[in-house]
Amino acid sequence: MFKVTTPPKMFAAMSLLMIVATVVGTGLIQAPFFRQAIIDREAVMVGDVVNALARVHGLSGADMRNYSEAAARERLDDSFGPLKQLPGTERVRVFNRDNVIVWSDADGTLVGKKRTANLDHLTRAAGGQVQAVFNTLKSDVNSEHPATSDESIECYVPLFARDAGRTGADVIGVLALYRDPHDLNRTIRNGLLLLWSITGAAGLLLFFALYKVFNVVYSRQVTAESKFSKLTLEHERIVQIEKMSAMGELVGEIAHQLNNPLVGVINLTQLAERQVQDPRRVSELLAEVRKAGTECRDIVQRILRINQSSRSTLQRTDMGELVQDTIAFCHHSIALKHSIAYAPPAHTHMLEVDPVLMRQALFNLIHNAILAAPQQQVRVALETADHDGAAGIALVVSDSGPGFSADMAPKLFKPFFTTRSNGTGLGLPVAQHIAMKHGGVVLAENVPAGGARFSIWLPATTTP
């Protein structure tokens, strides 16, 4: 007995079920469309034939109004009598503009009466539109004259005046033709069987090809897992240590990324509590809290998509506004003992960047600059700059601290390297990683007058 116990068997079972469901569903969904297309085409053909017969026998609007006169009845019989010979025809009725039956193939008892269960279709046909309907229940014509089937094809064809156009104003009446759908249903069934056969065969071919590939991949995976399980205990211990180290780095980066905006949320909330009597100021502070919370949410979403960390959500961003927003956030997130100097550039610089990541990178540089010289002013600038012969822009952060030594320079962007006892050593590595994701780089240099200068250089290929 076939038991779904292995991945190949599970794949085979699920694939077969999906193929069967797709094939059957496709057929069942397309069958009504095929049926409607066929009856629409036949309705148009019936309309052409009916109007041709009416023109040949000189049928006019006066005949439709004076249908009780002998001459009018004769022209109606000559025009529509041949329709009874059409294969599958059950009933034929003719309505004038007042929805009165002026001619019927069955008998004369209905002539002069208003009787139809499909007034909406009759009205649209009177407006010049050919109507074709497949009814699965008995139609109004079959309710009085028993038919062989509960199904029927109903065509409502506008009758146009002689030598007139094909508009609603030229319609002199409507012909209602009721036909047995037996032949149509048989055609649909045959087409459905053919469709199922073709799609089923194609699905089986695709199944066998995919199953073969899956089986080969699974066999290789089993072989690789078997070889891996034979590694020595010492090697497994090393792998475990590496995993723990990677986890430690990840946890440290998560804590570092979330700490700054969360501290800002706390500070902004405390400030809002102290200024509760000023609704406008509280509203401004709440807007900043929401911005910080949104940034935390974006960071968490990136953590949840850690396996796709190489992706960025790029959007066209005004870099000047990005710098101003980051500085404003710094003022609310960090206990500043001085100001941050920034002079907006004369020209607008637009780049395709991830604004959340870029604000985080710039925030890290400003935060490091503040820690390097807590009592001194931090200078931020946005300027054009070239790097390795390529044009671009640079987000420059300068401090008045002690700078860094030649021995420290190679370690600046190494994770967890820090010269402060309370530092995480992740600010610069994270900024470098973000810059590289955007095709740029973080540059570091000492300022001759004292202090350090860190620049996030980004290529200007997307600058207008």
- Between 53 and 117, residue with greater pLDDT: 53
Distance of CA 351 to the CA centre of its chain: 25
Helices (H), 275-419: 279-304, 319-333, 355-372
Q: How far apart are CA 333 and CA 282, in angstroms?
A: 16
Confidence band (pLDDT; 50, 70, 90) for 72? confident
Residue 133, beta-bridge partner list = 154
Give the pLDDT mean for 57-86. 86
Task: Tell me which residue range forms the domain holding 300.
Answer: 232-310
Give the pLDDT mean for 115-138. 79
Beta strand pairing call for 340-342 and 378-387 = parallel
* 393 in the same domain as 288: no
In a domain, 202, yes or no: no
Tokens 């001459």 locate to: 71
Measure Cα distances from 107 to 2, 97, 102, 116, 156 in Å: 65, 21, 11, 16, 20
- Between 455 and 260, residue with greater pLDDT: 455
Confidence band (pLDDT; 50, 70, 90) for 305? very low
Strand order in the sheet with 340-342: 340-342, 378-387, 390-398, 452-459, 441-446
* 177 in the same domain as 52: yes
In a domain, 218, yes or no: no
Instruction: Single out the residue of 427, 433, 412, 28 nearest to residue 256, CA to CA.
Output: 427
Average pLDDT score over the chain: 78
Query: How many beta carbons lie within 10 A of that of residue 204, not counting itself?
Result: 14
Predicted confidence (pLDDT) per residue in 193-251, tens digit: 787 788 778 878 887 887 788 888 888 887 877 776 665 656 655 645 555 555 566 56
In a domain, 277, yes or no: yes
Over 80: is that where the pLDDT of 99 sits? yes
User: What pTM value is reported for the model?
Assistant: 0.39
Domain boundary pick from 172, 188, 204: 188
Domain tally for the chain? Answer: 3
* 166 in the same domain as 23: yes
Give the pLDDT mean for 144-167. 71
Q: How far apart are CA 379 and CA 403, in angstroms?
A: 15
- Report residue 325 as tokens: 């927003």
Domain boundary pick from 251, 283, 310: 310
Domain boundary pick from 262, 293, 310: 310
Give the pLDDT mean for 68-85. 86
* 305 in the same domain as 345: no
Q: How high is the pLDDT of residue 463?
A: 43
In a domain, 222, yes or no: no
Q: How far apart are CA 160 and CA 175, in angstroms?
A: 11
Q: With the CA atoms of 72, 78, 81 and 86 taken in that order, what torsion angle do they form, in degrees rounded to the nearest 10? A: -140
Per DSSP, 161 falls in state: P
